[in-house]
């Protein structure tokens, strides 16, 4: 079972590979019939803004790599629910100071959203490919809501969330079907075989201990043996 640090490393590595490919497309954009780098990279008006936007994408990928484990007590759950609480309090403060119902609606929606992961079992719906596509969706929907028209500013951030989430499912062996990923399946079978060998070894040790105890009891002097009550 992969731990907190394993998922963080996987999220960073997955997004690094994607970033290298996207930068390659951006460099080769002038030689391609269609330049799709604007949908892959958060390119800003200046170099500093672009670097900051890419750093934000890395942070999103790392957070998304921990997101599936919000359904169980873990560092990822603690991190996310602290974030939920901070944002929820901020929205309530904005509502009381500005008297704008949109902030209250946002706080209520966020509170409702935070309940759903706790209603399922561990490695339930949060570890599904459906959740992989759905949970990062606010990153692409939010700009559409704010501007009121189709804009694609959120696509690079959605992809970062998608890649980070996919890295978690990959480590847990739930990203691809087992028939498409025989190595993962073989690793799973190897783990079960190792557990079976450990169980067999423990049973043998227990049997040897019982035999040794019986041998010692049989060779005990007659005077040391417990007497039967009449």
Question: What pLDDT digit, counting tens, does each position of 25-55 carry?
Answer: 777 765 665 556 667 778 777 888 888 888 9
Domain shared by 134 and 194, yes or no: no
Q: Which residue has the tokens 């009121």?
A: 148
Q: Do 120 and 214 reside in the same domain of the chain?
A: no
- CA 53: distance to chain centroid? 22
Do 12 and 35 lie in a common domain? yes
Residue 15 in domain: yes
Number of H helices, E strands in the chain: 9, 0
Contact assessment for residue 84 and residue 115, using Cβ atoms and an 8 Å cutoff? no
pLDDT at 7: 87
| Residues 41 and 135 grouped into a single domain | yes
pLDDT at 163: 94
229 within some domain: no
Is the sign of the CA dihedral 215, 216, 222, 228 positive or negative? negative
Domain that holds residue 218: 184-224
Closest residue by Cα to residue 36 from 46, 24, 51:
24
131 & 208 share domain: no
Same domain membership, residue 156 and residue 214: no
Query: Do 96 and 198 fall into the same domain?
Result: no
* Tokens read off for 132: 């992989």
Query: Based on the domain organization, do 167 and 152 belong to the same domain?
Result: yes
pLDDT at residue 187 in the model: 46
Tens place of pLDDT for every residue, the chain, 230 residues?
567 788 888 889 998 898 888 888 777 765 665 556 667 778 777 888 888 888 989 988 998 888 888 887 878 788 888 888 888 898 889 889 988 887 888 788 878 877 877 777 777 788 888 888 888 888 887 777 666 666 677 888 899 999 999 999 988 888 877 655 554 444 444 445 455 566 666 676 676 666 666 665 655 555 555 555 54
Assess whether 71 and 148 both reside in one domain: yes
Looking at the domain assignment, is residue 111 inside a domain? yes
Residues 69 and 77: beta-carbon distance below 8 Å: yes
Alpha helices in 67-181 (DSSP H): 75-98, 101-113, 129-134, 138-147, 155-171
- Tell whether 197 and 95 lie within a shared domain: no
Residue 230 lies in a domain: no
Flag whether 151 is in a domain: yes
Residues 215 and 133 in one domain: no
Provide the domain count of the chain. 2
């Amino acid at each position: 079972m992969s731990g907190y640090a394993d998922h963080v490393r996987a999220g960073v590595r997955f997004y690094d590979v994607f970033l290298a490919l996207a930068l390659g497309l951006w460099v080769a954009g002038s030689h391609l019939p269609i330049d799709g780098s604007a949908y892959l990279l958060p390119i800003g008006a200046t170099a500093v803004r672009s670097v900051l936007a890419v750093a934000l994408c890395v942070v999103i990928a790392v957070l998304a790599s921990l997101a599936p484990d919000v359904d169980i007590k873990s560092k990822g759950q603690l991190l996310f629910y602290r974030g939920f609480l901070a944002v929820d309090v901020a929205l309530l403060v904005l509502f009381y100071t500005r008297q704008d119902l949109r902030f209250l609606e946002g706080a209520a929606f966020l509170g409702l959203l935070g309940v759903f992961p706790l209603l399922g079992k561990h490695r339930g719906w949060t570890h599904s490919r459906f959740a992989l596509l759905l949970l990062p969706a606010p990153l692409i929907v939010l700009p559409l809501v704010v501007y009121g028209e189709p804009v694609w500013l959120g696509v690079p951030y959605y992809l970062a969330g998608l890649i980070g989430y996919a890295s978690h499912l990959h480590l847990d062996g739930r990203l691809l079907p087992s028939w498409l990923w025989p190595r993962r399946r073989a690793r799973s079978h190897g783990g079960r075989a190792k557990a079976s060998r450990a169980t067999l070894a423990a049973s043998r040790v227990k049997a040897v201990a019982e035999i040794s105890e019986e041998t010692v009891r049989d060779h005990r002097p007659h005077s040391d043996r417990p007497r039967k009550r009449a």
